[in-house]
Amino acid sequence: MDDRRKMRTSDREREEVVGQLRAALDDGRLKMEEYVDRMGLAYEAVTYGDLAALHADLPPAGSVAQREATSPAAAPQAVAARPGVLADLPTALKVLWTIWLAAVSINIVVWVLVGITSGHLAYPWPAWVAGPSGAALLAVSAGVTQIRRGRRSTARRLPAGKG
């Protein structure tokens, strides 16, 4: 095994390790800075030993934890522990959704207060604040979610050693 660690690696094998690192980033096992550092080292790696050190602390794809999460016995627990709608989105989109929600909430409160003080309900103008920006944000979020799901399903379909 020690001889293999000294053997030179190929571009395809470097790409496989980068794919493993990307999956670890998507799973939340690596922070972005650490991912970028390890990715750079992976592309600079010369031997298998150089590559092995980059993912030695990460569980392999299809690890026991992943198999248990997909087994029928663990299904009720997986449903109970299902994350929220925004949990799978990048931080930037979570921030944008929070800003949108705050802006819409403020506009609705102002609209209600104006309606109470004037004695009649005014035109529902907060819809113009919520609608177009919310629709655009929803479209971007749906697109990002589909892209991420596509990457995960592609990574799961690839057999070990291919990539």
Find, among 55, 45, 67, 66, the residue nearest to 19 by Cα. Answer: 55
Instruction: Give the model's pLDDT for residue 76.
Output: 47
Instruction: Give the model's pLDDT for residue 6.
Output: 85
Angle between helices 32-44 and 11-27 (to 10 degrees): 170
pLDDT digits (tens, 9 = 90+) for 119-139: 887 889 999 989 999 999 999
How many angstroms separate the CA atoms of 62 and 157, rounded?
11
Q: Could you give the percent of the chain with pLDDT greater than 90? A: 21
CA 64 to chain centre: 21
Long-range own/partner contacts, residues 51-60 (CB < 8 A, 24 or more apart): 51/9, 51/13, 51/14, 51/17, 52/5, 54/17, 54/21, 55/17, 55/20, 55/21, 55/24, 58/20, 58/21, 58/24, 58/29, 58/30, 59/29, 60/160
pLDDT digits (tens, 9 = 90+) for 101-119: 999 999 999 999 999 999 8
pTM over cut 0.75:
no
Instruction: Give the model's pLDDT for residue 161.
Output: 54
Question: Which whole number is the average pLDDT over 65-88?
Answer: 51
User: How many residues can be counted in the chain?
Assistant: 163
What confidence category does residue 19 fall into, taking pLDDT thresholds of 50, 70 and 90?
confident
Instruction: Give the model's pLDDT for residue 24.
Output: 87
Instruction: Give the model's pLDDT for residue 110.
Output: 92
Residue 9 pLDDT > 90, yes or no? no
pLDDT digits (tens, 9 = 90+) for 21-36: 888 888 888 888 888 8
What confidence category does residue 160 fall into, taking pLDDT thresholds of 50, 70 and 90?
low
- In SS3 terms, 19-37 reads as HHHHHHHHHCCCCHHHHHH
pLDDT digits (tens, 9 = 90+) for 135-149: 999 999 889 888 887
Q: Please give the mean pLDDT across all residues of the chain.
A: 80
Tell me the domain boundaries of the chain.
2-81, 85-153
